[in-house]
Chains A and B, each alone.
Chain A
Amino acid sequence: MNTLVLRRRLTYICAMVVLLVPLYFLGNPSVRKPDGSVIREGGVLAQLRTAYDLGQSDLGELDPASETMRLATLGQRGAAIAILWQRAEYYKREKVWDSFQATLNQIAILQPHFVKVWEFQSHNLAYNVSVEFDDYRQRYAWVKRGMNYLVEGGKFNKTRTELPFELGRVFGNKLGVADEKVQFRELFRADGPFHEEMAESSGIDVTQRAGLGPDGRPDNWRVGTLWSQHAYDMVAAGSPPAKSHQMFYLQGTSWDMKHAEAIQSEGYLDEAARLAWERAQKSYFEYGQRQIPAQTMKGVVVLFLNELEIAVKDYEEKETEFQKFCGETYDKMVADRMSQLTDEEIAARDKDESERTFEELLLARRADELLEIQPIEIAKATPKDIQVEALRLANRLYEAEERTRLIDSYRNRINYAYWEARCVAEQEPEALMARTNMYEANQLLDAGELDKALEKYEVAWSNWASLFNDHPGMMVDDLAEDILDSIERYRRLLDEPDLPDDFELKNFMEFRRLYTDNLADPNLMSVISSWPKRFPGRNFLEEMLKVGPVEREPEPGNPYDQSPKPVEPSGRGLEIDLVAPAPPLPDVDAPQPQAETTLPTEPEAPPKPEPAEPAVEPAEPAVEPEQPANEPQEVSEPAPELRAQRPDQGSPPAPPAPTDPN
């Protein structure tokens, strides 16, 4: 090569490199607050960007570092990212954490608008890397890194709700549910620099009133709600929600309840706890008023979770109207069908299910099928002159049933009725007194004040007994475990092998035994939440224990399966829809991707339409032998009258034990 040519080329290269130096100073990015105000103006280019409002793209920030990196890969961004992901995995495997995070930053810089990367790797940092450390303070530091990673991602993707929503989840779920939740919550409360850093980098001031706990310091659950609310605001401004509407809007509400639970466990048992539950109740009510789009065979319909009673009433009115309109035809059809039944079938059907032989089960089933008359069949059987109107009414009945069934189904997914009742119950004076007395008794016992502790315990048991009678739903949450622990301490304090015969919570303990052993009758379980509303003044525990548990043997071939068997639907028709299913905790915090290499997934599939199967059953009096007069109707045989089947017919929800999703 000619030396002159080489020299010229080298000069060009030198000139290019030299020009990069002023470019550094020109392109030095400005530093801004989240509200857009400039802290440091940066280079000339940055100033021009500010002057002409070019600092933000439609997606989010334009970061010079990101752009430089992307340019530097000379079109091989994909290959570079693949290599970086491999390196990140290597560093993680070998536990070289600083290099791991440095690589994650490089990946994010190369693909800043790929939201799943931010989500996945923040989860990696906050959940997978943090637990590699034995010291909970180091764990907390890595959880914060995961959060900061999400905040950073949010800047690049300002219209995407996934990142603030995920931040809300991490704030609540990671700091408030992990094994180290006590330590995490305290570290977060006292972490002033992190509060400031969060405010500076994201604009969410966690020290605002809505983010504070009863001690006046930021509370992780409430800050989680703030971030969830931020995501809701983004949706209100036009962004799509990060998840299905139902699960998306549930998070903030759930965190309000979790906050109330958390402060109670930390000893805030008086007005602070009541206010927290009041806030949770309000939040839950607002959640119930949110529009939840549901997919049906006829398209998307909008539901409101708190309109179940209205929907049921509407159905009943339409049902009555339909019955009235074509009552003669219906009676005739039932009579016809009944006449087709054999004596054996009628006998089998009249027999209690538990006493039927296998052959009788088949006969009864056949009889039931024959007696199921669809409204549309009835409408078609009406005289020609009224048939059009009958068909119209039948269709309206189907629509009302479908709406009721959908609302019920959506409510059951999140145990809506249980949590609604819980919010009310926790504000009762008995609840506050019971908790306070039990907490103080435990404290006195720890302090060695045995006599005073005994007194407090006895008052607490009385409070609990009264509360459980009024709100039996409270017997199936985590709180019950705390009470059982305290009862055990009380027993030891008494220095007796067994509790006294007149111990006020004996029924509760028996209930817990049945519940824990999965022996409680699923039908009874399903009425717990709505008991005080439906049967005021009646003692749930006494009535339940009078009936006794439904002992069930494990299925042959599967000795480990203790799940309750499906039971026949009740004859209360749609009235049963007011009943909530078994009350585990809302599963909004359940979807934690545990596998290290698995992308975070939706906690639930989007709502799927369920085929409506309204059925018409013969109008024959229910046979309810040996049924106590005050027994809830849910456990009775189906009444053969014109009623659509209950939405969850055939498979009432089992009573799953509340579990800690973490």
Chain B
Amino acid sequence: MLVVLAVFIVGLLFAGWFLNPGADNVARLYISFVMTSTSFLMMLLGLFLSCFSLPNDIKNKTIQTITTKPVRPTEIIFGRILGFTAVGTLVLGVMGGLSYEFVRRGIRHQHERKDVAADGLSGTTNYEALHAHTFEMLKDENGNLIADADGNFQGVTDEQKGHMHVVTAREVNGELQYTIGPPEGLLEARIPIYAKTMAITDRDGSLKETGLNVGYESTYHTYIEGAGLMSAIWTFEDLTPERFRGGDVLPIELSLQAFRTFKGDIVTGVQGEIILRNPDKPIESKRLGFIVKEFAVDYMEIPRTINGTENGKPRELDIFDDLVSGGRMEIIVRCSDSGQYLGVSTTDLYLRAGDSTFGWNLFKGYFGIWMQMVLVICLGVMFSTFLSGPVAMVATLTCLVLGFFGNMALDISTGQMAGGGPLESLIRMPLQTGAEVDLDLGNQPLENSIKFIDKWVMLGMWSVFQAVPSFGQFNTSDFVAHGYDIFGSLVLRHIVMTFGYFVMTSIVAYFFLKTRELAAA
């Protein structure tokens, strides 16, 4: 336990040497690092704790002392699992606290005012943490500077490296003194409402599932052509004003891609437009223009009352009364620039239903790591009831590897990955036959036999992979690092899976322990 903690602390100490402080989003990098390293260390801790305890007790005959007491096998198993879990939880708690502090310190920086315009309403900050900001003081609708309760004027900086700062200007002796606040927007936990479906309209306006491929290897984004009938339509469900804190505004976040077929207007960027549409009635909002911000989250707030049309006639619309029908609403995105394209995916546009706190989100992330550790402990204890310590460890480690790389193994076992099963691959290698080429040994019966054997081997592999927990699923560090709230249903699914494996491994362990002659050990 102490070793794991010490390794973690040393890792944090040295991490600063390797992590790039000039990254576009430092918090993302730091959170990914601490959570990934914590995850691996906790699984190793669970592995070592769980695999050797019972075999050692049996070897040292300590188990005999225990079994002479009125202790049931279930109590021995539960005691081990819960005990190791308690120890691991303690370590994880310490690691979580250290990680939080590490991230917080890593992103902390303080800017000072550098230059201010003659009117005092805008300026630049100094260069700190490998970036500088420009700032502007905020004005209300009448053009007056916005002041807080103490009479200090408020302003904000532009967004750099995923964050911004609040600027406060205080008048001292007739001069404005500016204070730049701490970074904001780095440690977030957005609560997104994703669309139920995303459809594409083709060049002729007909609906289809995917758009165009502009030639990228990754097909995550599909592309819509500009200045035509192509559009992406996200359909949202269960929309109520209550989900948006009363619904005075509808917050939308975009993370679209741009693809240019010609240079065009370099300075302005590729432009698009958003239309809110009632899915059941011919009511839609006016077009809301935007400029694509790639590899960043573009936040827009649409006021609840917005101009639009009903049956082609202009009128003022209420988003929730006119555009939402049965809780459903469509958001349409088009590219405005001819010859340019927008890359979209289902999760590229969502409604932001407020924020959770970063601390709570980090806790949920660590809860996922905790469940990974519990699964390892359960498997380790189970194997240790009938295997010696080292063998139990190898068995648990095998489960870990299969759990992490199960997807690839499943692809092989289901034949989705080209190249055939293990036997066929073994033959292909010395023959230097490419995976995409059909196996041709000039002997059809032999080829059939190989494929037949592989089929059964792969079926066996498939069965094993299905039984092993998919450890990778429990790692929710990407949610935390990218600033998205880990949604409750996901946590619940993980809890159910963990509980299921806990029950299953406990039953197996119980029967092995029950049938084992511990006194003769």
Contacts and interface: CB of A to CB of B under 8 A. Distances in A.
Interface of A: 1, 3, 10, 13-14, 17-18, 20-21, 24, 64-65, 68-69, 93-95, 97-99, 101-102, 105-106, 109, 132-136, 138, 145, 148, 179-180, 183, 192-193, 196-197
Given A93-B217, A94-B220, A98-B28, A105 B20 contact: yes
B3 interface: yes
B123 to A, nearest CB: 15
Contacts of B17: 64-65, 68
Contact of B295 (A1, A65, A97): A97
B474 to A, nearest CB: 20
B2 A14 contact: yes
19 contacts: A1-B52, A3-B56, A10-B2, A13-B3, A14-B3, A21-B10, A21-B13, A64-B17, A95-B218, A98-B24, A98-B25, A99-B32, A101-B23, A102-B29, A135-B269, A148-B22, A183-B267, A193-B127, A193-B132
A179 B266 contact: yes
Contact of B7 (A1, A17, A134, A179): A17
Most chain B beta carbons < 10 A, residue from A17, A98, A109, A193: A98
B218 A20 contact: no
Contacts of A3: 56, 60
A193 B25 CA distance: 19
A106 B293 CA distance: 28
Given A97-B24, A98-B24, A136-B267, A68 B217 contact: no
Nearest to B162: A98
B19 A102 contact: yes
A101 B266 CA distance: 25
The 6 closest A-B pairs by CB, nearest first: A193-B127, A17-B6, A134-B258, A65-B17, A98-B23, A20-B10
B263 interface: yes
Interface in B1-59: 2-3, 6-7, 9-10, 13-14, 17-20, 22-25, 28-29, 32, 52, 56
B10 A134 contact: no
B157 to A, nearest CB: 15
A18 B2 CA distance: 10
B292 interface: yes
Contacts of A133: 294-295
A480 B32 CA distance: 55
Most chain B beta carbons < 10 A, residue from A20, A93, A99: A20
Given A20-B13, A94-B218, 19 more contacts: A3-B56, A17-B3, A17-B6, A21-B9, A64-B17, A65-B18, A68-B17, A93-B217, A94-B220, A97-B24, A98-B28, A99-B32, A102-B20, A102-B29, A106-B18, A109-B18, A134-B294, A136-B267, A138-B295
Contacts of A179: 263, 266
Interface string B218-235: 101000000000000000
Contacts of A109: 18
B260 interface: yes
Task: Tell me whether chain B's interface is mostly helix, strand or loop, or mixed.
Answer: loop
A94 B218 CA distance: 6
A511 to B, nearest CB: 29
B6 A135 contact: no
A224 to B, nearest CB: 22
A10 B270 CA distance: 60
Contacts of B10: 17, 20-21, 24
Contacts of B130: 197
B6 A18 contact: yes
Interface string B230-267: 00000000000000000000000000001010010011
A191 B258 CA distance: 26
A246 B431 CA distance: 48
Nearest to B4: A17
Nearest to B262: A179
A491 to B, nearest CB: 26
Most chain A beta carbons < 10 A, residue from B29, B220, B295: B295
Given A14-B3, A17-B6, A135-B293, A105 B25 contact: no
Interface string B404-422: 0000000000000000000
A89 B259 CA distance: 20
Contact of A134 (B24, B132, B260): B260
Contacts of B29: 98-99, 102
B3 A180 contact: no
Contacts of A148: 22
Interface string B273-301: 00000000000000000001111000000
A303 to B, nearest CB: 41
A138 B266 contact: no
A430 to B, nearest CB: 34
B19 to A, nearest CB: 7
A180 B20 contact: no
A180 B265 CA distance: 10
